[in-house]
Every structure is written in C-alpha cells, then in structure tokens.
Amino acid sequence: MGAVAPEVALGELYVGYAADPDIRSVASSGGVVSGVLTHLLERHLIDAALVSRITSVDGRVCGVTELARTKQQVLDHAGSSYIDTPVVNRVKALRDIPGKVAVVALPCQARLLKRLLARDGALRQKVALVIGLFCRGTVTRQFYEDIFGRYGIDQAAVESVKVDRGHLKGMVYVRLRDQQERAIPFATLNAYRMAGVHAKRYCLWCDEHLSEQADLSVGDIFTKEFKRRPIKHSAFICRSETAADVVAQMQCDGLLELELFGIDRYRRTFSRLERYSNDLRPRRVAARLTGFKPVGPPSWRVNPAHCLAWTLFMLNRRLTGSDAGRRLVYGLPSSLISLVSLSIKALSRI
Ligand SMILES: Cc1cc2nc3c(=O)[nH]c(=O)nc-3n(C[C@H](O)[C@H](O)[C@H](O)COP(=O)(O)OP(=O)(O)OC[C@H]3O[C@@H](n4cnc5c(N)ncnc54)[C@H](O)[C@@H]3O)c2cc1C
Ligand code: SF4
C-alpha cells in the first residue's frame, strides 16, 4: 500500500462512490464498501471478505455472515441487510482459516471486534481491515418471520432479501428458491423497524452510530443536495492509516470518486438526529415506563418529546417480545404502524 495521499485525512468525512457502475447498481448507497472489498481482493491484499446477507437456513429466515472470495460473491452480498448478523462469531472462527480477511461490521460489532483483536494477536494478524457501517438500529430474525407471515411468504423458501431504494420510495425484493420474486414496499418494512418492532435489544441502549472503532466507517449521505445528484454517494471516514492508504490508492487508480464533506459539517447537518440517537437519558425514563431495566443513573432532566418517542419504540419492542404481543402488533393495520413510526420521527426532531 502506498503513502497517504494528502487529500485523505484521518477522521474527516468524505462523500464518494465506486467508479464501477456494476458495483453501484447493487450497492446500498455509493458502493464504497463493495468497491473497497473488490479492490482489496483484486490486488491480493486480502484472500476473502466477511460479508452478510439475509437468507433462510434450516427453514428459518436469518442473517448470515459468509466469506466472499470473488468480486461476484462480494456483489451478491452488497446492499444493506436490516437484521442482526453473526459477524463477531464468524471472526472468531477465522483462526482456523488461512489468509487475510476484511470484515464488514455494524458499529456495535466493530466495538466488540476492537476488544477481541486487542487481546488476540493471532486473530489480529488475520483481519486486514474492519469496515464499519453507520447504523441507527436493526432487528432480530423474528421481524422477518412475522412480516413474511403477514405477506404470505414461506420463510423456508427465502433465498435472498434485497432493498432497492431506487424504485419510487423503494422496494424490498424477496427472492425465493424457486426463482419467484415477491416485493414489499420499503416504506412499510421500514415503518415496523422504525417503530421498534423486534428491535435488537442492544439498540435500546446504543449511543455510538458511526463505527468509531472501525478502520473505515461508511454510511449514507441523505442531504437535499446529495439526494438530487444523479449518482448516489456514500459518506465515509478513514480512521486508520491502512484505510486512508487504501482509499488514496483507489482514488489514484480511478476506482473511487471522492470529495471532502467535513465531519463538523456532517455533525451540524445531523445535529438533531445525533441529539436524539446519542442521548441515553430519555431512554431511561422510557425504560421505566415500559418495564425495561434502565441503564445508567436516573435523570428527569430530559427532552419530553424524546421520552415519548422512546416510550413508543420500547413499547413496541416489549410487545413483540411475547407471542400474544406479536399477534397484536401484526394484527393492526400497517397504516397504524406507519403513523406510530412517523410520530416517533416527528418527536425525535423536537
Ligand atoms: C442495519 C443497518 C442500519 C443502517 N443504518 C444507517 C443509518 O442510520 N444511517 C446511515 O447513514 N447508514 C446506515 N446504514 C448503512 C447504509 O445502509 C449503507 O450500508 C452504507 O451507506 C454503505 O453503503 P455502500 O453502498 O458503500 O455499501 P455496499 O457496497 O452496499 O456494501 C454494504 C456491505 O455491508 C454488508 N452488510 C449489510 N448488512 C449488514 C449487516 N446487517 N451486518 C453486517 N454487514 C452488513 C454487506 O454484506 C456489504 O458488504 C445501515 C446499514 C445497516 C445494515
Ligand atoms: S443501533 Fe447500535 S446496537 Fe443497534 S445494530 Fe446499530 S450499532 Fe448495533
């Protein structure tokens, strides 16, 4: 890997996209993650990438984390899979596999990996790069079990689940093993997720969403300016020299287009979102009201709108923790869940 190009500064936020349109066509945003993985594989800087997707295993839909050894395998796993994934356990199993690996992880997984790699030298030698996604919440496998049940989709027949946000307000395409395809509006699926339905338990107390412990953090850039651009961009931050070297090399080779956005500008632009999603205090109040064990010392000096938003979120999480609650929530019209989700969004902005 070459020297750090002066324009790729550690800790700064850039926006950009993979130059290869084949990568962008299957990616979640600008294809920066899949572009970096493809570059590392083709340059033989890694032997495999540890990537994730949704499929069914032993008759049950779930998130899986697998080794991709070719560009095609990387592309088969591109896109965002809104589900809990066994990334950390798969990294632990790398001890038995020869060669170097790059890992794609959620922020909570990147934090666990940082600790794991710090105390395990052999594993550290194997992991060439950790790419962390930005993330403000995911769901358990039961989420898909229930939503597929609602749409009459046999979970045992699911081959893949892909989000395509290019189509109107976006669609979720569920490919079945007999090659048939079913489509669910992304807005519907996302409303259940944003309302707290089957939220991963960790998400109730998560306050770090930009993968600060990864080498390279990648997310979306959903400002008006970037929504208008014909090519979708990813936002990314190089946090280690290894990541900065990779990005600089890709830019030199014409594989990656990038421009500086600025971390301060990002934080200013999304300050309301960060205030809501990084503050644990309203969640402690919401936890008491909904019967969860609060984390940290009590505090009543909180934003009441945020308390209400988190209370709605945790209430749905609690309901979907029991069979009766699941039947109740999924028996409600999806328009009501959309209303709850919109209310949470509106309250979070106050
Ligand atoms: C659950 C979840 C929540 C997210 N929330 C936000 C958010 O609030 N704000 C934001 O800016 N961005 C969020 N993102 C990140 C965003 O959706 C894109 O993944 C990111 O912009 C990278 O896009 P890309 O085109 O560069 O990646 P791509 O080239 O599409 O590659 C994505 C990579 O991520 C891997 N991956 C997908 N899902 C998972 C998963 N569950 N666990 C581990 N690896 C996975 C894929 O295997 C693939 O290698 C979230 C992603 C996920 C999975
Ligand atoms: S919100 Fe936090 S805990 Fe939940 S999946 Fe994302 S990083 Fe992990």
Q: Which atom of ligand 2 is closest in space to residue 137's alpha carbon?
A: 1
Probe residue for ligand 2, chosen from 65, 114, 131, 200 as the CB with the greatest number of ligand atoms within 8 Å: 200
pLDDT digits (tens, 9 = 90+) for 97-140: 889 999 999 999 999 999 999 999 999 999 999 999 999 999 99
As beta bridge partners, residue 133 has 218
What digits encode the pLDDT tens for the residues 78-88? Answer: 999 999 999 99
Instruction: Output the CA 170–ligand 2 centroid distance in Å.
Output: 23
Indicate the pLDDT class of residue 96, thresholds 50, 70 and 90.
confident
pLDDT confidence bin for 2, thresholds 50/70/90: very low
Q: Is residue 288 in contact with ligand 2, taking CB distance under 6 Å? A: no
Sign of CA dihedral 68, 74, 76, 80: positive
Which helix or strand (DSSP H or E) is residue 202 part of? none
State in Å: Cα 230 to ligand 2 middle.
Answer: 30
Q: Output the residue whose Cα is nearest ligand 1's atom 24.
A: 31
Task: Work out the angle at residue 197's Cα, subtended by the Cα atoms of residues 288 and 267, and round it to the nearest 5 degrees.
Answer: 80
Residue 234 confidence class, pLDDT cut points 50, 70, 90: very high
Q: Which of 161-170, 233-242, 275-284 has the lowest mean pLDDT?
A: 161-170
List the structure tokens of 108.
Answer: 């909570």
The rounded Å distance from CA 9 to ligand 2 centre is 26
Q: For residue 202, report the distance from its CA to the centre of ligand 2, in Å.
A: 6
- Per-residue pLDDT, averaged over 325-345, amounts to 96
Given ligand 1 and candidates 61, 64, 75, 80, which is best to mutate, with the most ligand atoms within 8 Å of its CB? Answer: 80
H and E: helices and strands count for the chain: 16, 11
Q: What confidence tens digit (pLDDT) does each residue in 140-199 have? A: 999 999 999 999 999 999 999 999 876 557 999 999 999 999 999 999 999 999 999 999
Report the pLDDT value the prediction gives residue 4, as an integer from 0 to 100: 44
Cβ of 316 below 6 Å from ligand 1: no
| Nearest ligand atom owner, CA of 208 | 2
pLDDT averaged over the chain?
94
Q: Is 60 exceeded by the pLDDT of residue 3?
A: no
CA angle at 9 for the pair 7 and 11, rounded to the nearest 5°: 150
In the chain, where are the structural domains located?
13-138+200-269, 279-348
Of the two residues 164 and 309, the one the predictor is more confident about is 309
Please, which residues have CB within 8 angstroms of residue 203's CB and are 6 or more apart in sequence?
A: 137, 138
Question: For residue 269, what pLDDT is reported?
Answer: 97
281 with 309: CB under 8 angstroms? no
CA-to-CA distance for 160 and 180, rounded, in angstroms? 11
Closest-lying ligand 2 atom to the alpha carbon of residue 205: 3
pLDDT at 328 over 70: yes
Give the closest residue to 13 by CA, choosing from 246, 208, 216, 223: 216
Of 132, 144, 137, 170, the residue nearest 55 (C-alpha): 144
Q: Residue of the nearest CA to atom 1 in ligand 2?
A: 137
C-alpha to C-alpha distance for 188 and 168, rounded to whole angstroms: 13
pLDDT for the residue 300: 74
pLDDT computed for residue 168 by the predictor: 57
Ligand nearest to the CA of 80: 1
Q: How far is the CA of 279 from the centre of ligand 1 (A)?
A: 23
What is the pLDDT, as a whole number, of residue 298? 76
- Confirm if 141 and 167 have CB atoms less than 8 A apart: no
Predicted pLDDT of residue 17: 98
Any idea which residue has 């509006």 for tokens? 185
Question: 16-32: per-residue pLDDT in tens?
Answer: 999 999 999 999 999 99
Ligand whose nearest atom lies closest to the CA of 51: 1
Ligand 1 contact, 219 CB (< 6 A): yes
Better-predicted residue by pLDDT, 214 or 301? 214
Q: Say if residues 312 and 336 touch (Cβ distance below 8 Å).
A: no
**Closest CA relative to residue 312, chosen from 300, 301, 324, 304:** 304
Question: Which residue reads 């893949």 in tokens?
Answer: 160
Whether 214 is in the pocket of ligand 2, judged by its Cβ within 6 Å, is: no
